Amino acid sequence: ARVRVRGSGAAMAALLEHESQIFLELFHRDGLVVCARGLGIDRLLLRFLRLYCEPASLVLVLNTSPAEEEYFIDQLRSDGVVHLPRRVTNEIANNTRYEFYTQGGVIFATSRILVVDFLTDRIPANLITGILVYKAHRIIESCQEAFILRLYRQKNKQGFIKAFTDNAVAFNTGFCHVERVMKNLFVGKLYLWPRFHIAVHSFLEKHKPEVVEIHVAMTPAMLAIQTAILDILNACLKELKRYNPALEVEDLSLENAIAKPFDKTIRHYLDPLWHQLGAKTKSLVQDLKILRTLLLYLTQYDCVTFLNLLESLKASEKAFGENSGWLFLDSSTSMFVNARARVYRIADEKLNQKGKGSGSEKRDVKKENELKRELVLESNPKWEALREVLKEIENENKNSDNLGGPGQVLICASDDRACAQLREYIITGAEAFLTRLYNKTFGKDEKAAEVWIKDRKAMKSKGNAKPDTGPQAKKAKLTASSKQNKQKKQQDRTLIQMIGKTEEEKREEVEVEDNKELSSSQEGNIEEIIPEDFDFSLPSDCYYGIFKDPLTIIHPLQGCGDPYALTRVLHEVEPRYVVLYDAELTFVRQLEIYKASRPGKPLRYFLIYGGSTEEQRYLTALRKEKEAFEKLIREKASMVVPEEREGRDETNLDLLRDARPASASADTRKAGGQEQKGVQQTIIVDMREFRSELPSLIHRRGIDIEPVTLEVGDYILTPDICVERKSISDLIGSLNNGRLYAQCVAMCRYYKRPVLLIEFDPNKSFSLIPRGSLQPEISSNDVTSKLTLLTLHFPKLRILWCPSPHATAEVFEELKQNHPQPDAETAMAVTADSEILPDSDKYNPGPQDFLLKMPGVNAKNCRALMTHVKSIAELVMLSKDELAKILGNAANATQLFDFIHLTYAEALAKGKSKR
Amino acid sequence: PSQRGNPVLRFIRNVPWEFGDVGPDFVLGTSSCALFLSLRYHHLHPGYIHERLRALGRSFGLQVLLLQVDVRDPQQSLKDLAKVCLLTDCTLLLAWSPEEAGRYLETFKSYEQKPPDLLKERVEQDFLSRVTDCLTSVKSVNRTDALSLLGTFGSLAAVVGASREDLSLCPGVGPQKVR
């Protein structure tokens, strides 16, 4: 507990110089803050949250994920804030929500709930102190958050809007992106805080942590592989350009291809015309993806994993018979050769190839051609480097009494898998680890291969010479493993003394600082090395002198559920040494801030670069952000911000959705839109529809929205027109499972003009079926066939085809012209009971449905039945003969009669006997 | 007759067709017909389709306007046509190629007599699920209600014949039994 308090205390300590500057600026004037990655945007938001955590104010926070909310609340709690932020979820009932809001404080709310609450006046809009928007780069025009902000500004002119983001690169896409975002946010001021901002720079310069960069050279084999992959990547890119000359070329450079978001860029370019691309291009894109993974695996993981991936790629290639071309390039063969060479060598060369660093191990494997292999198992050079670093820290810790005891070590790698590997490496050493991995992956394969060979033999009944391969191999394995054990012990003594020491010491420390251990394990995010493991993995003679020594923690940089796990760990462990196994921009910055927030305490971090591509990736990320900021600065300089942008007076054109002043809309809504009928357009929208962006767009066009739970239809435009909205995937799904049919039945029954709206995704192509996939025969499974059938059975049903929600909103508006407004009461009532009916049907539809569901009754004889029989009760009284007369078919009659008169008990008995 | 030379005809392969002197472009069945329009043509002669629709009146139960989208930016005219269709009781269908248009036409013909079972939820064939399905089609009766009704009354006949008082004795069934 002690550590916890100290750690969070540090987090909430006074803001750094530049941070308080941002804070003050933003406090005085609303705006959008764009901060460099990792430069403490969360600390800033936290600061604001703390400011408003009191019942007197009501502040909404938009766009946070549950994990982030959890983190903020936690931080505030440990900081002793009494009035903690609360969350609005659907667990809080509709009618209690108003009170909930009026209690004040900071509230995290789901957007969907907020939209509805704003529309129904369930939230006291005029009492809101302000809104904080996190991750503001996501606010585009049609999203719900923008809708909320618009509603808020319409009703509340005084409150503030402050927006935060640390993703500058996101603003780099598209034309005037930042300006549009600001427009949606209703803020007039843009604050840019790049890393190279003078205040930030000079401040961080003062508290510079000690940085040691270690460049690890790759082994020749790795280098060869890397060149091969790059060659292939380049070839693929060229090919891609050749096939699609229309593509923008500048982004498709090799440098970009290495960088992380390349997949996204390429999707961005290709998605709109995806359906037009040939199979060749698609497979090229796929190949690029695979190659990028390969490149990552090369430096990230060990040789065995890499080879495994490569082999499986090849195997799948063979299995599916699709050749993507690159496997046949010269470079790829060299890649395969080298990858194999990293794992094993042909036995003949074994003597001269034995390296002392990568102490090798013999293991004979029988193959069909009696090829002898020897495991070489080249270990990853980064591991060596890591060991060096740890050793250095070790030495330093020995004579670090003047620094107040040894410092903690934090090792950061990119993902879970890398962490697990590193951990095992540190505990058991390179050899043991690699061998185990090898046995696991390839041992299995060999066994499988043998089985397969045997099978084939049996089938072909060729009496070949190897009936005893299985046992032999097993023997070989046994001897190998025993040998391996011996060797391992020796190695453990010699090679891993140092590491073993660390582990042991760690155990000591763990005992000493028990409570610390507890608190961190409760967090559940830390990959703690459990002390019990050591006893198994280390021989007992590796026990060395004890001195208080570092707690070493390995933590993944990504792939963790909680985005703040790393931050937490950082503040809890308070490491003096940080080893960045994989360099990552955000975390480096975070470290700088961390250092700066605790002046006087030494911090040193090591960066390990795995080789040219990895370094390249890091540098590209750095450059990208810098460019993005430079662009933003230029844009800011030339930006014209209209006076009324903030929407505090009546002149903002965005807020005026209509000719009507915005303030009047609140009044009409309170009265349910009744009084101004004919003037104010209203559309009744189903509650569940607020997940889509359409309601927001409709509202924007100056049409009022009434959120209501509808049983029939999604939108009611006029008393006659009822619309069921279906996206393409929805359409196909509901055509298949029969839901659409039921919905159409209901709509046709209650409304004069039922409409099916088919809405396409604006980012995809506007067409129902992809080009070239039309089958020559009519099949009942096609969407088109089902749609045809639907129109045949519902001649009253109209279909609207809309390429985007914007178009839909437009069509809605035009459809509503010169029509009376729908009434929410009737819309709801219409679904609740079946009494209010259009007179088009001669018969009551309820019983009609009832009849049709019965066996022996179909659409044709249903009419006859209804004209003859007054009610269901009467039908039940009829005898079998009478039924036959009416239905005109004895078989049907029997079916129906049996159905009616079969008792429940009998049915149960029957059902049981069936089971 | 006006459709002579329409490329769509080449793609109507699965059903027989012939030229005849009819009002609409295609007569698909006794109660359904279709007009064919290509958007490119519509842009050249915007008045054409209105005339055709007026001439057609409301003589068929199902009137389909089959629209072939063959221009780059169809949004505006699509909107207008959607409105027109809504006013003239036409069902709008979009096709993106003559193949697709032909497919729609032949499907209309060949599915003319097909029951809508394909679109409906699959109902299992055994008695119990059919009875529950039957009963749940009545408003305010859900699946559990249906089962409890059956359990108390024994058979469907008895359920239907039961009086209002009897029914309201059943758990979960209030006085909303209207039949």
Percent of chain A scoring above 90 in pLDDT? 0
Task: Establish if A847 touches chain B: CB-CB under 8 angstroms.
Answer: yes
CB atoms within 10 A of CB A169: 16
**Over 70: is that where the pLDDT of A201 sits?**
yes
Q: Are residues B27 and B77 in the same domain?
A: yes
Please check the confidence at residue A183 and state whether its pLDDT lies above 70: yes
Distance, CA of A106 to CA of A87 (rounded, Å): 9
Q: Which of A841, A839, A819 is nearest to A722 (CA)?
A: A819
Q: What confidence score (pLDDT) does residue A584 get?
A: 67
Tell me the one-letter amino acid at A891: A
Of chain A, the percentage scoring pLDDT greater than 70 comes to 41
Cβ contact, residue pair A789, B100, below 8 Å: no
Contact at 8 Å (CB) between A887 and A869? no
pTM: 0.61
Q: Is the dihedral of CA A560, A563, A568, A570 positive or negative?
A: positive
Q: Compute the average pLDDT of residues A428-440.
A: 58
Minimum mean pLDDT range among A196-200, A533-537, A910-914: A533-537
B104 neighbourhood in chain A, CB within 8 Å = 784, 788
In 3D space, the residue among A722, A745, A730 whose CA is nearest the CA of residue A783 turns out to be A730
pLDDT per position as a tens digit, A814-840: 777 767 777 766 666 655 444 444 433
Residues B31 and B13 grouped into a single domain: yes
> Domain locations in chain A?
17-188, 209-215+385-442+548-640, 220-348, 682-765+782-832, 845-913
- Cβ atoms of A887 and A856 within 8 Å: the answer is yes
Structure-token pair, residue A671:
């009265």
Partners of A766 on chain B (C-beta within 8 Å) are 69, 74
Average pLDDT over residues A302-325: 62
Give the pLDDT confidence score for residue A649 in this predicted structure. Answer: 57
Task: Say yes or no to pLDDT of A657 above 70.
Answer: no
Q: Which of B118, B140, B157 is the last residue of a domain?
A: B118
Asked if A538 and A492 count as a contact pair (C-beta separation under 8 A), the reply is yes
Are residues B112 and B138 located together in one domain of the fold? no
**Chain B contact set for A877 (CB, 8 A):** 161
Name the phi and psi angles at A832, rounded to 5.
Answer: -75, -40
Portion 37-56 of B in contact with A at CB < 8 A: none
The pLDDT of A800-815, averaged and rounded, is 81
CB spacing of B128 vs A914 below 8 angstroms: no
Mean pLDDT for the stretch of residues A129-138: 81
Nearest-neighbour CA in chain B from A38: distance (Å) = 44
Quick one: pLDDT at residue A166? 78
Same domain, B108 and B165: no
CATH number for A845-913: choose from 1.10.150.20, 3.40.50.300, 3.20.20.70, 3.40.50.970.
1.10.150.20
Task: Please check whether residues B111 and B150 belong to one and the same domain.
Answer: no
- Classified as helix, coil or strand, A798 is strand
CB nearest B116 (choices: A789, A902, A904): A789
**Would the CB atoms of B62 and A791 count as touching at under 8 Å?**
yes
Of A767, A784, A858, the CB nearest to B103: A784
Task: Classify domain A209-215+385-442+548-640 by CATH number.
Answer: 3.40.50
**Rg, Å, chain B Cα set:** 25
Q: Which helix (H) or strand (E) holds A208?
A: none
Structure tokens at A884: 């036959």
Pairwise CA distance, residues A78 & A69, whole Å: 14
Q: What is the ipTM of this complex?
A: 0.70
Euclidean distance between CA atoms A276 and A830, whole angstroms: 46
Q: Which CATH number goes with the domain that contains B144?
A: 1.10.150.20
Q: Which two tokens stand for residue A780?
A: 């009942």
pLDDT reading at A58 higher than 80? yes
Q: Examine the domain organization and report whether B105 and B145 are in the same domain.
A: no
CATH number for the domain that contains residue B76: 3.40.50.10130
Residue predicted with more confidence, A197 or A353: A197
Q: Which tops the pLDDT comparison, A70 or A471?
A: A70
Give the CATH H-level superfamily of domain A17-188: P-loop containing nucleotide triphosphate hydrolases (3.40.50.300)
Which one, of B42, B48, B3, lies nearest residue B24 by Cα?
A: B3
The DSSP secondary structure of A142-188, one letter per residue, reads: TSHHHHHHHHHHHH-SSSEEEEEE--SGGGGSSTTHHHHHHHHHT--
- Both B85 and B31 in a single domain? yes
Residue A587 contacts residue A412 (beta carbons within 8 Å): yes
Nearest residue in B to A805, CA atom: B75
B19: in domain: yes
d(CA A717, CA A899): 43
DSSP strand pairing (A160-165 vs A31-35): parallel
Tokens of B10: 């080449």
Residues of A in contact with B84 (CB under 8 A): none
- Out of B82, B112, B137, whose CB is closest to A849? B137
**Residue A863 pLDDT > 50, yes or no?**
yes
Q: How many domains does chain B have?
A: 2
A residues 769-808 near B, CB within 8 Å? 769, 771, 774, 776-778, 780, 782, 784-793, 795, 797-803, 807
Contact B103 A774 (CB under 8 A): yes
Distance from CA of B136 to the nearest CA of A (A): 8
Asked whether residue B134 falls in the same domain as residue B84, the answer is no
CA distance A810 to chain B (A): 8
pLDDT along chain B (179 residues), means of 10: 66 71 73 82 83 77 80 78 79 80 79 65 53 59 60 62 54 40
What is the maximum alpha-carbon separation in chain B?
A: 70
Question: Measuring CA to CA, how many Å separate A480 from each of A199, A314, A353, B18?
Answer: 63, 29, 20, 82
What is the pLDDT confidence band of residue A721, given thresholds at 50, 70 and 90? confident
Q: Is the pLDDT of residue A618 over 80?
A: no
Phi/psi at A96 (5° precision):
-90, -5
More confident residue, B65 or A494: B65
B112 touches chain A (CB under 8 A): yes
Task: Write the residue in A785, A859, A904 that is nearest to B155 by C-beta.
Answer: A904
Number of Cβ within 10 Å of residue A813's Cβ equals 17
Query: Does residue B175 lie within any of the structural domains?
Result: no
Chain A segment 686-715 residues within 8 A of B by beta carbon are none
If pLDDT is split at 50, 70 and 90, which confidence band does A302 have? low
In this structure, the number of other CB atoms found within 10 A of the CB of residue A746 comes to 19
DSSP string, A332-376: HHHHHHHHHHHHEEEGGGHHHH--STT--B------TT---EEE-
Whole-angstrom Cα distance, residue A287 to residue A290?
5
Count CB pairs under 8 A between chains A and B.
176
B179 assigned to some structural domain: no
The mean pLDDT of A498-513, rounded to a whole number, is 38
In a domain, B161, yes or no: yes
Q: Are B97 and B24 in the same domain?
A: yes
Residue B94 sits at the chain A interface (C-beta within 8 Å)? yes
Does A85 have pLDDT greater than 70?
yes
Q: How high is the pLDDT of residue A326?
A: 59
Position A690 scores a pLDDT of 76
pLDDT tens for A560-603 read 444 555 666 666 656 666 666 666 667 777 777 776 666 656 66
> Range of B79's domain?
7-118
Contacts of A814 in chain B (CB under 8 A): 79, 83
**Does B33 share its domain with B95?**
yes
Q: Is residue B174, in this structure, part of any structural domain at all?
A: no
> How would residue A90 be classed by pLDDT, with cut points 50, 70 and 90?
low
Span A456-462, mean pLDDT?
43
**Cβ within 8 Å, pair A811-B83:** yes
**What is the arithmetic mean of pLDDT over A625-645?**
75
Residues B92 and B149 grouped into a single domain = no
Burial state string for A217-254 with b = 16 or more CB within 10 A and e = fewer than 16: ebbebbebbbebbbbbbebbbebbeeebeebeeeebee
A845-913 has the same fold as A682-765+782-832: no
Could you say which residues from 712 to 731 on chain A have a Cβ atom under 8 Å away from some Cβ of chain B? 721
Domain spanning A682-765+782-832, CATH architecture? 3-Layer(aba) Sandwich (3.40)
CB distance A738–B85 less than 8 Å? no
A653 — pLDDT class (breaks 50, 70, 90): low
A717/A860 Cα distance (integer angstroms): 34
- d(Cα A292, Cα A284) in Å, to the nearest integer? 12
A542 touches chain B (CB under 8 A): no
So what's the pLDDT on residue A764? 64
Give me the mean pLDDT over the A42-53 stretch: 80
Is the residue at B98 inside a domain? yes
Please tell me which of the candidates A798, A834, A914 has its beta carbon nearest to residue B92.
Answer: A798
Cβ neighbours of A737 in B, within 8 Å: 121
In a domain, B51, yes or no: yes
Tell me, yes or no, whether B86 and B131 share the same domain: no
For residue B65, give how far its alpha carbon lies from the nearest alpha carbon of chain A (Å): 10
Please tell me which of A255-259, A522-526, B93-97 the model is most confident about, judged by mean pLDDT: B93-97
Average pLDDT of the residues in A727-751: 79
Q: Would the CB atoms of A910 and B91 count as touching at under 8 Å? A: no
pLDDT at B99: 78
